[in-house]
Amino acid sequence: MAYSLPIPQEVLDSIQNVDCHGYLHSVETGAAVDGPGMRFVFFMAGCQFRCLYCHNPDTWKLHNGRPVELEDMLSEVGKYANFLRFAGGVTFSGGEPMMQAPFVGAAAKAIKDAWGLHIALDTQGFLHGNVEDDWFDPIDLVMLDIKHINPERYLELTSQPLQPTLDFAQRLLRLGKQMRIRYVLVPGWSDAPEEVKGMADLVQSYGDAVEMVEVLPFHQMGTSKWDQLGLEYKLRDTPTPTRDEAEAARDIFRSRGLVAS
């Protein structure tokens, strides 16, 4: 490819001593909704959440992904690195990328060392307690998915507790990391005005660390995957929010002085 860059030899040498490998579900080379600018996205396999609205349940099992080594990841990015330097960067998503924290951390560091690219992490942060602070050094932006403000409803929606995610947000504040908050608007689950207001108040408390709130309307595009996997999809009859409904939720965040899209 015209924009391909080689992997620097010193980076190749450094990764030879890293004793870990990963499981990659898929990649997207021109993503426009997974961080600032155009993104190269690694969708890592594995997730400990079981969100009722998940549109990628085929990413839940770690070994459903293909085995990859660090050099594989670098080679994939190298094809686009020259373009990504100016147009966007690399995003680690999933699944839940922190399910593979040693490998993802090593890959993020190697990519940063090789080409200095902007790196984003798309996560719900539940597993942040498994890594040290310096794990986040190569990460420029955390796209933090907070799925509900109410702990009981959060547990019903995801099968996991809310508190670790809230603790992670506080850790990111301490580390001085920039955040984008992602909030999926699910009719009957997370669209009530009082729920959105509660979320907006929480996000407002994070101050300038939050560059943007992304309100993501629920959709049914993952239904066929649930069917193919023989899983019960409980939100089959849940409608997609209208444009006006999504905009009303965004306006609540904007009323707190937040940028919402």
For residue range 103-149, what is the model confidence (pLDDT) as tens digits?
Answer: 999 999 999 999 999 999 999 999 999 999 999 999 999 999 999 99
In sequence order, what DSSP letters do the residues of 28-97 get, joined into one string? EEEESSSSSSEEEEEEES--S---TT-S-GGGSSGGGSEEE-HHHHHHHHHTTHHHHHHHEEEEEESS-G
For residue range 51-95, what is the model confidence (pLDDT) as tens digits?
Answer: 999 988 999 998 889 999 999 999 999 999 999 999 999 999 999
Global pTM value: 0.95
Does 2 score more than 50 pLDDT?
Answer: no
Q: Once rounded to an integer, what is the mean pLDDT over residues 176-187?
A: 97
**Whether the Cβ atoms of residue 39 and residue 31 lie closer than 8 Å to each other:** yes
Query: Per CATH, which fold does 9-254 belong to?
Result: TIM Barrel (3.20.20)
Of the listed ranges 81-85, 102-106, 190-194, 221-225, the one predicted with least confidence: 221-225
